[in-house]
Amino acid sequence: MSTVRTDITLPPDLRKSTGTGPVRLQQPVFVDSIPPCNHACPAGENIQAWLDKAQAGDFESAWRILVRDNPMPSVHGRVCYHPCEASCNRQQVDDAVSIHAVERFLGDLALEKGWVPEITAKASGKKVLVVGAGPSGLSAAWHLAMLGHEVEIREAGPMAGGMMRFGIPAYRMPRDVLDGEVARIAAIGVKITLDCKVEDVVAAMQDEGFDAVFMAIGAHLGKHVDIPARDSGRILDAVSYLASVERGEEPRLGRRVAVYGGGNTAMDAARTAKRLGAEETMIIYRRDREHMPAHEFEAVEAESEGIKINWLRTIREIDSTTFQVEVMEVDENGRPQPTGKIETLEADSLVLALGQNVDTSVMERIPGVSMEWDGVVEVDENMMTGAEGVFAGGDMVPSERTVTIATGHGKKAARHIDAWLNGTTYRKETRKPTVDFNALHLRYYTDAQQRQQASLPPEHRTSDFSEVMAGLSEKEARYEAARCYSCGNCFECDGCFGACPEDAVIKLGKGKRYEINYDLCTGCQACFLQCPCHAIEMAQTGGLS
């Protein structure tokens, strides 16, 4: 059943219709809407646009569209949890488009070919300091440089990448790929200074001539929990443990390793222990599988590598290598409740993966900056703190902590910083409607299953830190991109042109789409009803005849 849009007003010249036939209450109008993948992307990528170029084989153009919003597609194609795919309309028919796999292909190809975008903005003469070389800081620096500003990143650690490097193991995020993405950001003129901890932001602004500062310190401090211990074995926090592995300092874990926690970091910590030679690795988590914070595929991969997950268990006491754990049960609200039943587990070391905090001590020395009760920084709608010219994003501000959200924060902050430096205010354009599955007309489409990325067999994974997942070939990437329905945006399929019984649809040439001759159009809806991507709406005409 068709719907008539009442919020679309036809231009005056289109109301001068003099066609014959009954009184027309509606006429077709070409519109562009937001596909659900774009709407769901935390980095604000124009996914549909670069998929269109990719399916045509114009990979460089696709990549250039992609990096307007996200400077690290090779990284995100590997570590993003792709909420875009969870929103993809195609999954209602067969499988979602493997957007992350095509993104990875484009990113890897760009590294291979050495593609670097051209900065077209004029030099602004403004200097911006970015504190932290994690995803948020790198993203902000990229976008600020593209806007014509002079940017320096100062990173307290010895290498850029933040939690992408020190929190995500190499079997998921190969270091040469990360290094390549960082090198491109430096190649457009961003200065990256390592082993340089910023202690006084105000002094940096006053003494070194920085016009604005973006604070992007990651959550590198592991949370701890008090567990009664008579003679505890080796206890490590997951963040420090994973960082030490990255630095080449393999910790002594023993033969049996327990990881306490149920998030993605816990899965990574356990899988890393296996690669470091642990014979037995287990995860202890107080909730059930349905309520774990880790993504399901992370748990599946951990289990496939021989890691045992002890659901609904909480550690009550440690005596050397003996762990007393209490069995929990889920109540009607999905919360774990103690049962009083105790079990005994054995492990030589315990890794605590209970979440991370940000070291915000530097923020406490900036006049005007306010902190939330949980230690994160308060920012306004422009991402500015209470201190004039000091902005913050990523793990430092209230939000979910993922690489892609942090990257989106960097882009958003860069736009607000740019506007503030120019004495204006950045206003995001009003969102267009999002096209859901029910709005599509897919009667002529057939099933086309998603191309799966190859992966190492589980029995071959744990001997080293080689990448587990392989990418798509060029042929597979084009196929996967072509599975996109182009929801809400015309892709010039000529369906409307062929369906119109009055020859009212006029082709304007490749890339120019169509227009409608309203002197001929009778409002019969033929074009609207056959448009597979819902790029046509029926608008009220006011009773034109």
Residue 498: domain span: 4-32+490-544
Q: Which residue has the higher pLDDT, 331 or 474?
A: 474
| CA–CA gap between residue 314 and residue 354 (Å, rounded) | 12
Residues 184 and 141 in one domain: yes
Q: Angle at CA 60, nearest 5°, toward 509 and 454?
A: 115
Domain-located, residue 38: no
- 3-state class (DSSP) for residue 332: coil
pLDDT in tens, 390-422: 999 999 998 888 999 999 999 999 999 999 999
User: Which among 355, 388, 407 is the end of a domain?
Assistant: 355
pLDDT in tens, 135-184: 999 999 999 999 999 999 999 999 999 999 999 999 999 999 999 999 99
* Ramachandran assignment for 355, one of left (phi > 0), alpha (psi -120 to 50 degrees), beta (any other): left
Residues 241 and 329 in one domain: yes
Number of folded domains in the chain? Answer: 4
The rounded mean pLDDT for the chain is 90
Residues 339 and 273 in one domain: yes
User: Which among 336, 355, 374 is the end of a domain?
Assistant: 355
Whichever domain contains 169, its CATH number is 3.50.50.60
Domain-located, residue 438: no
CA 105 and chain centroid, separation: 16
Residues 214 and 299 in one domain: no
Residues 203 and 321 in one domain: no
Nearest to 90 by CA among 505, 483, 353, 359: 483
Task: Please state the three-class secondary structure of 241-257 as a single string.
Answer: HHHHHHCCCCCCCCCEE
pLDDT of residue 24: 67
User: Which among 312, 336, 355 is the end of a domain?
Assistant: 355
Statement: residue 109 has pLDDT above 70: yes
Q: Which residues pair with 130 in a beta bridge?
A: 153, 214
Question: Taking the CB of residue 258, how many other CB atoms lie within 10 A of it?
Answer: 30
Domain-located, residue 516: yes
pLDDT of residue 432: 81
Residues 239 and 337 in one domain: yes
pLDDT in tens, 281-296: 999 999 999 999 999 9
Q: Are strands 150-154 and 127-131 parallel, antiparallel or unpaired?
A: parallel
Q: Angle at CA 323, nearest 5°, toward 320 and 325?
A: 160
| CA–CA gap between residue 277 and residue 7 (Å, rounded) | 63
- 3-state class (DSSP) for residue 404: helix
H-type alpha helices, 67-219: 73-79, 83-87, 99-113, 135-146, 163-166, 175-187, 201-208
| CA–CA gap between residue 257 and residue 291 (Å, rounded) | 23
**289, 301 in Cβ contact below 8 A?**
no
Residues 239 and 283 in one domain: yes
Amino acid in the structure at residue 24: R
Task: Give, to the nearest 10 degrees, the angle between helix 47-55 and helix 59-66.
Answer: 170
pLDDT of residue 14: 42
Q: Which residue has the higher pLDDT, 373 or 60?
A: 60
- 3-state class (DSSP) for residue 191: strand
Statement: residue 309 has pLDDT above 70: yes
φ, ψ for residue 341, nearest 5 deg: -80, 130
Residues 236 and 339 in one domain: yes
Domain-located, residue 436: no
| CA–CA gap between residue 121 and residue 139 (Å, rounded) | 17
Domain-located, residue 121: no
Residues 239 and 339 in one domain: yes
Residues 525 and 537 in one domain: yes
Amino acid in the structure at residue 527: C
Residues 27 and 98 in one domain: no
Q: Angle at CA 274, nearest 5°, toward 254 and 316?
A: 60
- 3-state class (DSSP) for residue 536: strand
Name every residue whose Cβ is closer than 8 Å to that of residue 126 and which is 6 or more positions away in sequence. Answer: 149, 150, 211, 212, 421
Whichever domain contains 513, its CATH number is 3.30.70.20
If you average pLDDT over residues 109-117, what whole number do you get?
97
pLDDT in tens, 194-249: 999 999 999 999 999 999 999 999 988 888 787 777 666 688 999 999 999 998 88
Domain-located, residue 63: yes
Domain-located, residue 231: yes
Domain-located, residue 432: no
pLDDT in tens, 460-517: 999 999 999 999 999 999 999 999 999 999 999 999 999 999 999 999 998 899 999 9
Residues 233 and 348 in one domain: yes
